[in-house]
Structure 1
Amino acid sequence: MAINLLKYLLIDDESLNCYKHKKNVSFEDLKRRIFLLYRAENSTVPDHILRLHHNNTFDGITSMSDIFVKGIFGLSGDYLEININRINVKQQEQNSWQELLTFIPPLFLQATFLQDLYRKKSSDIDDKKFFELYILPNSKYTSIPSSKIANLDFFVNQNNGLHDLHMHLNGSLETDHVWQDFLKNPIPIYRELKKSFNKSKVKEQLEQESSLLEPITFIRFLQEARKIRKLLYLYIFHEDQLSNIKGFFDVGSTYRHPFLDRISDKADYPHLMSVELYMFVLVLDKLNRSPHDEIAKLLHHYLLILGLTNRLLVQQTHQNGFEQFQKNTLNGLRESSEKSFKRRFFQMHGNDLNFLRFLEGRFSPKNNQREQKIQLDTIFEGWQYMVKNSSGKEEDNNLPELRLIAHFIKQKDKNTSEYIRHKALRLEIIKKGKNLTSVLSKFSTLENAVSGIDAASSEFDSPPEVFAPLYRLMRRKGFKHFTYHAGEDFYHIIDGLRAIYETIEFCNLQKTDRIGHATAAGINVEKWSQIIGDEILISQGCHLDNMIFIYHLIANSKLKNLIKIIPTLVNEINNLSYLIYNEYCTPAILEQAWLMRASCPLHIFSSHHGNLKIQGVFDDFELNWPVEKRFIESLENKDSSKIYNLYKKYHSKDYRKNYDKIISISPFSILSAKKLKSLQLELLKYMADKEIVIESLPTSNIRIGFHKNFSTYHLKNWVKWSMEGHIIPPIVLGSDDTGIFATNIYNEYANTYCTLIDEEFLSIDEGMDVIKKINYNSILYRFT
């Protein structure tokens, strides 16, 4: 298939740099830079092959104006189609469309498609009517079109929407929404970006995406974009005035969208994305009728700033792994836009307000009761506003439902304690947990506001053991539903599987509880090994824990094909034990010390508990927990226990340096690819036996996991293994972060369906059977 290189149009940093320094960008400059961007992404392919795609892209395109009215129009036509008055994604392009959204925000792509319709309809209807009939329906709440899949549409309507069982409320607003806020008032954006600029990962993100960026530069870009928008308005309605303007300094800018006056005189008009779409349509229509390269350059300049903004808000296809995702959450660029929840809930529900039947929204608990109460009230106020405006019938039994899940955030260990790993975080989450339960019990309106508990963020920052005491506390406080992000990102598949297992065992997950992501339990081992190569760098502590985990599974299961590796495994464990803890320990002792990590070191290491009581975190249950679990005989005699002393060494700063030392291993030094797959299947069976549910998040998993695109999405493996007779736990779907991944729950079901029937992996009926099963699981296992 020929590749349209114009998808790179908005990531051209070199041209943005030229505009910044008031240099001309010629058509030939743009063509050359597009080729180089394409080449950078395909550096192993000879230029003469790449040049054919480049020549094909620019066939018939000879000017800057042509780029937009022919080139981008052709790109949009590759993916989009119109059905009556609605723009849809072609079903066969759904997965590719999801990739395209990382390059170009969807609103402009819709505009290039609608301008042709505008030209045909302009003699019959006026602009306001066109706006009502064609622009508003496609952009009122969300700018992201969806595929029109007959089977899926019928299913959604029949079930009054879909279940989204994993969605974080922060990071959910789409680029095209946030862009309007940026241009309306850039000052708060400057403050947030400046505040976050001292974080190394934010600096990394800015430097990797642009050589131009520091906070003040970005704000100047936004100010330039506001002025360009005013110039485009003059071009459409007062072109004669353009000759009086010598440069940006002569252009006034306003917080109000200049094209809004043509649609509404309301100061608080809510559908600014639609106004922006209207602007794009008019500009493209006029460029089509009367090509004007200088105006096309202004539009190009404007779009490059929008494209840069999109790269800072949406995880890109080249940004693999959780650390890349985390940069989007840390840069602060959505902070100002996401103070209210109304727009987000409308966006998630879709332009026809029919996407959602049930939503589990995840939020991060606050430090004090006043902030916690305000946060929960604000969330429900936004939800009720959306629901009230979704239906004229308040008694309608089919209105969407919201449940909140409190997700506690994993954080790096700041190593301030010599004796306890993650001491500060352990204290923080217990305090937040108690604070949350106090607020929920104090206010009757919030009694059932929060349905479940989650732990989110990077698995590299803190392991499940840190959250085990919190989960036990929250279960004793009356919470019945628990989930946990595990097996999402990892050094070796084994530590991804171990994270899942530790979560279930350490946090005492029970029947109908869930694991978020669980990518390690589904990823294709051979394809993973092709990506990571013949050698893995890993800390020797992590490697030892992986070996203990394998030993534990072999000892507690019937994996006959792994029994033969026990001598090799024991030898590796002995060597690593000495290197880290300066003593040879039996695998059995190491295994018990590993399992003991579920204990709370704040309690077990403390001989005087006054300080814990002062901080409000002392808990008799936690104090006695390791005795009840028989890790030690008694608290008084704990020092005589080999298990306890090894547990103590694990926490001690004296041994952390050994634990963290980086070593090189072969990915298959202990387990072959075939045996590693059997370990995946064993863990899946273990989850199924316990009825632990997997939350799979399609686009998120593709971006963060070891995938290039949807063709290797590991849900296909779970489906395949189930068809082969293996026992697979129930699976549900979620959208994760709808803004960062440029998606919504309908598109995630569409992405899944299209992936399943791609290349005839499943038939259409079989694909729908999987979708129906996922929906059934969602109804059965939702947190209510």
Structure 2
Amino acid sequence: MLQFLLSDNESLLQYLNEEYVSIEEIKMRLFLKKRAQNFLLPDHLYRLEQTIVFDTTKSLSVLFTATMPDFVSSYLELENNRIYIRQEKHNDWQEILTFIPPLWLQSLLLFKKTNDKFSLEDRVKYFNTYIVPNTQYTSIPSAKIPHLNYFIAENKGLHDLHMHLNGALETDQVWQDYLFNPKEVYYHLKKGYKSTKVKEQLEQESVQFTPLNYYKLLKIAQRLRELFYVFLFPDEAAIYKEKNKMVLLQKLVNDFSSYPGNYQHPFRALVCTSIQRHPNEMSIEALMHIMILDRLQNNPNEILAGLLHFYLLILGLTNRLLVQQTHQNGFEQFQKHTLNELREGSEKEYMRRYHQMHGNNMSNLHFLEGRFSPKATQQDMISFISKIYKGWNKLLKDIYDKNNNSPIPQLCLIAHFIKRPEKRIDKTIRHKELRYDLIKRGKVLAYLLKNHSQYRRKITGIDAASSEFDAPPEVFAPLFRMMRRAGIQHFTYHAGEDFYHVLDGLRAIYEAIHFCDLRTGDRIGHATASGLSVHLWSKVIGNSLRIKKGDHMDNLIFCYHLIMKYRIIPLQGTIPYISNEVSNLCFTLYNEYFSMEVLERAWLMRQCCPVHTLESNKENIRSVSVFDNNEWNFVVEKNWIKERKLLTDNPAWRAFEAYHRKQNREKFNEIITIDPFEILKKEQVEQIQLTLLQLMSEKEIVIETLPTSNVRIGFHKDFDTYHLANWIRWKKEGKNIPAIVVGTDDTGIFSTNIYNEYANIYSSFINTHNTPHSETMAIIKQLDESSKIYRFEFTD
């Protein structure tokens, strides 16, 4: 129940309406928040938890100085001067971080465990002894797992093989930037607010939310910090010496001129004499919280406690805009965090995020694959990559300065090309605009690697990222072939992450492998559809599913192809039903009947570039920017067509052309309702999963699993159903499962780091699946070993 303390929009609105919030109102609202998690449970069960939490909590001062520290102590522990996550609570802790940023939780624990060591006279010593070691680079603590820690030390860090450089900074880092320059945040959010998806995100998290309203909240938070300082040091200033608590709140909310706020952290002067921004502003923020808690314990003050509550509610709202919440399932919810522009100002430079990832001990990373979006010009690309490595080199310098014997991590860059939805529909070619843009950016990258050989060691791989609903693998196939010809050695593709039906997630994986010509050592990002429990998914979806008519037909063609090509004997009996359904769908889409064999061939033909495939005369397209003689010849060399003068005599070409035709696309996108298991039953869909995994293993295509990201975006409530366990179980049963490597995806959006992702895996197997320590560590070692083998390094 207490995890919802900072998610209480009603109390935030009450403060904005210039009314203080009572402990009874908080008690009621947290009860309602908890009840909203599961309406099937009766109130009397929730009432018992409410009684346990609030039985001795009679004021806000007690809530902050006793109740919340006790709550945090069930997740965190202090050993010597370091804070650790309790290993048995690690997966639960990962859920807590969606509700409350970790810095305040750490502050509560330090207050509870070191209160006897804190004094105003020795605050600098206390600051350096307890606060800085836990918050210098990251506010996210880690568990103390002896097996895992020993393994990491022996291997000099971990491999993070899927990490996007944007969306990386954690909430507590960004919060300091927001209060340093609220106006910049406003401008970025105003830009992001043009997106309908961003508007949806803001409205689902807070009513009457606009960029201007959020700017006002940040200004209020600025002024509240100033007021906290004056509360603790009343002789320092007179501006906040308002005795009437209602007038004080009114001025905080409305009086910008009298209460301007300060861009510098007011508590900075307690530990620093420089006028510059302190390098450890999170640490200063933690000091502020501990000093407020100390004051509330020694001299309870409901006005100060109420204003702290107000401040924390603004911070909590900020965290919900920056970190994907447990209620925000699916890729589209994730995408809203990438579109809202709220990290734009903070992520101009790269140094802080590298320090954050490497941890306060500077020991997390051994090898990092950072993903970036390639720029449209060579000069922009050079400037961008230089900025990325400038931050990285600063990290390396700090490691050298700290300890010459510390292991030095390695950075390689992966250029991820972005899937985008069609804005202007072309009459004859699907995703024409995106296809042209991909080739343009691909050529810039290819020329860079050709003309500046030093970048070949820095940019070591290619990826296709973002929403699978926006563009399918076929759009990226010509780009991948071009980049392979340009000398790129490693390829990965985000596929099977989110889907309407599990089958189109599996189809996306297969298309990425087959259409983009993935080879030994190449990888698939996420591949959730190949591991997700079909029975679990069916419980979430129910007995009916809405899907686009064309996707439904393509899924069935894919199943037909897999069953026939790989001789899946147990599924042979479904072929007549698949063929009949596809025949009916085909006529409604194309107004023409094509045989299953022709439709299968036309589907496989999508790996060809339609600009080159639909044209019979080379001279007609030689002048277009995407023309490539290799692509022109590819269609014939792969035997998709034999004679260009007789294209219309080729039924597969006609079906391919019909697929791209604009008027057919409208029918293709028509939404229908199906029984998801009418043709292939649950067990048969699982057989498709296992067949796909087997062919991935045989081709040595590797899976990138990203624990917290997969739990948030996938059909999981929490780590209890995380599908890595299915892959491991199938492997133990003798099934052919591909190698698996680990990544963090977006460390800020998912509030994690590579150590904690391995710890989440460890805790999931130990605590949920009751796997012995030795067996769990064998899994961890295999994941890391695969990462060493399949990391994307440059080789001569």
TM-score in terms of structure 1 length: 0.98
Q: Which residue of 1 aligns with 2:304?
A: 295
Match for residue 28 of structure 1 among 24, 40, 44: 24
2:162 and 2:744 in contact (8 A); partners too: yes
Q: Which residue of 1 aligns with 2:345?
A: 336
Structure 2 residue 127 is the aligned partner of structure 1 residue 131: yes
Residues 279 and 316 (structure 1), Cα distance of their counterparts in 2 relative to 1, 3 Å cut: same
Displacement after TM superposition at 1:268 (Å)? 3.3
1:419 and 1:653 in contact (8 A); partners too: yes
**Partner Cα distance (2:215, 2:758) in 1:** 37
Q: Which residue of 1 aligns with 2:162?
A: 166
Match for residue 144 of structure 1 among 140, 146, 152: 140
Match for residue 257 of structure 1 among 262, 265, 275: 265
**Partner Cα distance (2:406, 2:79) in 1:** 30
Q: Which residue of 1 aligns with 2:667?
A: 658
Match for residue 517 of structure 1 among 526, 530, 540: 526
CA deviation digits over 1:422-441, x for unaligned, max 9? 00000001100111122233
Q: Which residue of 2 aligns with 1:200?
A: 196
Displacement after TM superposition at 1:781 (Å)? 0.3
TM-score in terms of structure 2 length: 0.96
Counterpart residue identity of residue 729, structure 1: P
Displacement after TM superposition at 1:646 (Å)? 0.6
2:616 and 2:647 in contact (8 A); partners too: no
CA deviation digits over 1:236-284, x for unaligned, max 9? 1227855347432333311110001111123032111111111111111
**Partner Cα distance (2:406, 2:212) in 1:** 50
Residues 657 and 277 (structure 1), Cα distance of their counterparts in 2 relative to 1, 3 Å cut: same
Q: Which residue of 2 aligns with 1:84?
A: 80
Displacement after TM superposition at 1:75 (Å)? 1.5
Match for residue 597 of structure 1 among 606, 621, 631: 606
CA deviation digits over 1:283-306, x for unaligned, max 9? 111111111110011100000000
Q: Which residue of 1 aligns with 2:103?
A: 107
CA deviation digits over 1:53-105, x for unaligned, max 9? 11111121000111111121121111000011000000000000000000000
Residues 318 and 545 (structure 1), Cα distance of their counterparts in 2 relative to 1, 3 Å cut: same
**Partner Cα distance (2:7, 2:123) in 1:** 32
Q: Which residue of 1 aligns with 2:498?
A: 489
Q: Which residue of 1 aligns with 2:677?
A: 668
1:639 and 1:645 in contact (8 A); partners too: yes
Q: Which residue of 2 aligns with 1:412?
A: 421
Q: Which residue of 2 aligns with 1:569?
A: 578
Q: Which residue of 1 aligns with 2:281?
A: 272
Q: Which residue of 2 aligns with 1:697?
A: 706
Match for residue 738 of structure 1 among 743, 747, 750: 747
2:442 and 2:479 in contact (8 A); partners too: yes
Displacement after TM superposition at 1:396 (Å)? 6.0
**Partner Cα distance (1:518, 1:733) in 2:** 12
Residues 346 and 645 (structure 1), Cα distance of their counterparts in 2 relative to 1, 3 Å cut: same
Q: Which moved more, 1:285-294 or 1:509-518?
A: 285-294
**Partner Cα distance (2:520, 2:696) in 1:** 9
CA deviation digits over 1:371-395, x for unaligned, max 9? 1111100001100110111124998
**Partner Cα distance (1:160, 1:125) in 2:** 40
After TM superposition, list the pairs within 5 Å mapping 1:249-648 onto structure 2. Answer: 249=255, 250-266=258-274, 267-392=276-401, 398-606=407-615, 614=623, 616-648=625-657
Counterpart residue identity of residue 96, structure 1: D
**Partner Cα distance (2:502, 2:683) in 1:** 13
Displacement after TM superposition at 1:761 (Å)? 3.5
**Partner Cα distance (1:643, 1:375) in 2:** 44
Structure 2 residue 744 is the aligned partner of structure 1 residue 748: no
Structure 2 residue 688 is the aligned partner of structure 1 residue 679: yes
Counterpart residue identity of residue 494, structure 1: L
Residues 273 and 615 (structure 1), Cα distance of their counterparts in 2 relative to 1, 3 Å cut: farther
**Partner Cα distance (1:307, 1:167) in 2:** 25
Counterpart residue identity of residue 599, structure 2: L
Q: Which residue of 2 aligns with 1:178?
A: 174
* Aligned residue pair count: 780
Counterpart residue identity of residue 603, structure 1: H
Residues 394 and 68 (structure 1), Cα distance of their counterparts in 2 relative to 1, 3 Å cut: closer
Q: Which residue of 1 aligns with 2:233?
A: 237
Displacement after TM superposition at 1:607 (Å)? 5.4
Q: Give the SS at the match of 2:400.
A: coil
Q: Which moved more, 1:300-309 or 1:125-134?
A: 125-134
Q: Identity across aligned pairs (percent)?
A: 50
**Partner Cα distance (1:458, 1:535) in 2:** 23
**Partner Cα distance (1:269, 1:393) in 2:** 19
**Partner Cα distance (2:119, 2:233) in 1:** 18
Q: Which residue of 2 aligns with 1:39?
A: 35
Residues 542 and 282 (structure 1), Cα distance of their counterparts in 2 relative to 1, 3 Å cut: same
Displacement after TM superposition at 1:397 (Å)? 8.7
**Partner Cα distance (1:568, 1:749) in 2:** 44
Residues 19 and 729 (structure 1), Cα distance of their counterparts in 2 relative to 1, 3 Å cut: same
Residues 66 and 716 (structure 1), Cα distance of their counterparts in 2 relative to 1, 3 Å cut: same
Counterpart residue identity of residue 38, structure 1: K
Q: Which moved more, 1:238-247 or 1:208-217?
A: 238-247
1:287 and 1:296 in contact (8 A); partners too: yes
Displacement after TM superposition at 1:760 (Å)? 4.4
Q: Which runs of 5+ in 2 are unaligned?
A: none
Q: Which residue of 2 aligns with 1:706?
A: 715
Displacement after TM superposition at 1:613 (Å)? 5.3
1:116 and 1:285 in contact (8 A); partners too: no
**Partner Cα distance (1:442, 1:209) in 2:** 48
1:456 and 1:485 in contact (8 A); partners too: yes
**Partner Cα distance (1:123, 1:262) in 2:** 13
1:609 and 1:618 in contact (8 A); partners too: no
Displacement after TM superposition at 1:494 (Å)? 0.6
CA deviation digits over 1:7-63, x for unaligned, max 9? 101010011111112122122111111111111122111111111111111121000
**Partner Cα distance (1:760, 1:642) in 2:** 52
Displacement after TM superposition at 1:678 (Å)? 1.0
Q: Which moved more, 1:27-36 or 1:177-186?
A: 27-36
Q: Which runs of 5+ in 1 are unaligned?
A: none
Structure 2 residue 714 is the aligned partner of structure 1 residue 718: no
Computed over aligned residues only, the root mean square deviation of the Cα atoms, in angstroms, reads 1.5
**Partner Cα distance (1:56, 1:393) in 2:** 47
Displacement after TM superposition at 1:612 (Å)? 5.6
Q: Which moved more, 1:700-709 or 1:284-293?
A: 284-293
CA deviation digits over 1:461-490, x for unaligned, max 9? 100000000000000000010000000001
